[in-house]
Amino acid sequence: MFIGFFLALRKAGVRVSLRELLMLQEAMAAGLAGFDVERFYFLARATLVKDERFLDKFDEVFGQHFRGVLQPQAEVPDGVAMRDLPEEWLRLMAEKNLTDAEKAEIEALGGFEALMETLRKRLEEQKTRHEGGSKWIGTAGTSPFGANGYNPEGVRIGQPSGRNRSAVKVWDERSFKNLAGDVELGTRNMKVALRRLRRFAREGAADELDLPDTISATARNAGYLDIKMVPERRNAVKILLLLDIGGSMDDHVALSEQLFTAAGSEFKHLVTLYFHNCPYETLWRDARFRKSDAMATDDVLHTYDHTWKLVFVGDAAMSPYELIQPGGGISSMNTQSGQAWLARIVKAYPAAVWLNPVAESHWGYTQTTRVIRDIMGERMFPLTLEGLDGAMKRLMR
């Protein structure tokens, strides 16, 4: 009944809900998959996966889970009613894999037994309603396929029909691999974290005059003025993004820039400035570091006041000289040390974070990273999904 498959998907990190599992049952009962494995695969995919990032995981789990079914194994003991066996085991799995909210949902549906019962009924319905439907149910005796090819859930998947079919199973092609983004930080999963930023911004926004509603209320009010206010629709968050460009981490920095830009429409303002290794008396509006794009750091601090939220992105790794020594900057003749400049900038913005593309476990080995982390007051976060999440939360405190 696909509960095992469902749990396997969840275990693999595919976000599937009970609601969708029931939807799949319903679709099966409606005979949408017929007795064709490939159709079943397409149907299950369209029902259970809602994000292309998970398509590849789905293919992988599908391949593993139904392998035995697709290639009937003779060693399955004859006559065992597989259908009754796995319930205890399923319950254990469910304990491990379901969230509290979902356990509560199961309870609301009348507990695990009731849920199993619902699923079972659906299958029975299907059995009576559709001719030959019993092929789907793996009780020994009713299935024309005998005991072979039961999957642990007691549901048998039909044999492939003769329709044009390549030797390779669709799901084994793993054609969505490039869309998966679970390990490395890609544009997609960072967006999830940025969502938090957007959410907050909406809540924290000021009221503004709602003209349409005011007119409408006034009209309702026979022409007497009735002023209506609404929370400002637009995001009120102003972001000052300072990017370290010109090092080995450029790709990551560019990625973060793209991300913030992608979310740009949600911010009230987004200003991006660039520096090389460490910010000193000058920042640049463009990563080509041309004179015409230069902006005095002092001017930046005046132009963008303390209500802006400051986000650094950089690896914070350089020669100590560049950070600690006046005049140590590689592309600058700084009279004050980078350290001093950094401290000044950070002081100007109560809400500030540093995103570091280097793995957190390495930070301790680099002297300048330790110093900068200190200056940031522990507000340095790795450039991972969790890191970004943490940084956003921190910014919004």
Partner 1 sequence: MRFEGTENFVATEDLKMAVNAAVALQRPLLIKGEPGTGKTVLAQEIARALGRDLISWHVKSTTRAQQGLYEYDAVSRLRDSQLGDARVHDIGNYIIRGKLWDAFEAPGSPVLLIDEIDKADIEFPNDLLLELDRMEFFVYETRQTVKAKTRPVIVITSNNEKELPDAFLRRCFFHYIKFPDRETMQKIVDVHYPGINGLLLREALTSFFELREVPGLKKRPSTSEFLDWLKLLLAEEIGPELLRDRNAAKLIPPLHGALLKNEQDVHLFERLAFLHRRNAV
Name the residues that contact partner 1, by CB under 8 A.
Answer: 15, 17, 19-20, 23, 26-27, 30, 32, 38-39, 42-43, 45-47, 49-52, 55, 170, 175-176, 179, 191-192, 195, 198-199, 212, 215-220, 222-223, 233, 262, 265
Q: How far is the CB of 172 from partner 1 (least distance, A)?
A: 15
Q: Side-chain half-sphere of 16: how many Cα atoms within 13 Å?
A: 32
254 or 371, CB closer to partner 1?
254
Tokens of 381: 């976060």
30 or 81, CB closer to partner 1?
30
Q: How far is the CB of 269 from partner 1 (least distance, A)?
A: 17
User: How far is it, in rounded angstroms, from Cα 342 to Cα 337?
Assistant: 9
52 or 299, CB closer to partner 1?
52
104 or 296, CB closer to partner 1?
104
User: How far is it, in rounded angstroms, from Cα 143 to Cα 137?
Assistant: 7
Tell me the residue type at 324: I
Q: Is 325 in contact with 333 (CB distance < 8 Å)? A: no
6 or 312, CB closer to partner 1?
6
Closest of 76, 101, 106 to residue 3, by C-alpha: 106
Closest of 352, 383, 354 to residue 249, by C-alpha: 383
User: How far is it, in rounded angstroms, from Cα 234 to Cα 311?
Assistant: 20
Q: How far is the CB of 38 from partner 1 (least distance, A)?
A: 7
In whole angstroms, what separates CA 92 from the centre of its chain?
27
Q: How far is the CB of 275 from partner 1 (least distance, A)?
A: 24
Order the strands of the 238-244 sheet from edge to edge. 294-296, 282-284, 269-275, 238-244, 309-313, 352-356, 380-382
Q: How far is the CB of 199 from partner 1 (least distance, A)?
A: 8
Distances (CA, A) of 337 to 40, 278, 341: 65, 10, 6
45 or 370, CB closer to partner 1?
45
216 or 303, CB closer to partner 1?
216
Stated as kind and residue range, the H or E segment containing 274 is strand 269-275
Provide the 10 A C-beta neighbour count for residue 186: 16
Q: How far is the CB of 216 from partner 1 (least distance, A)?
A: 3
Q: How far is the CB of 195 from partner 1 (least distance, A)?
A: 6
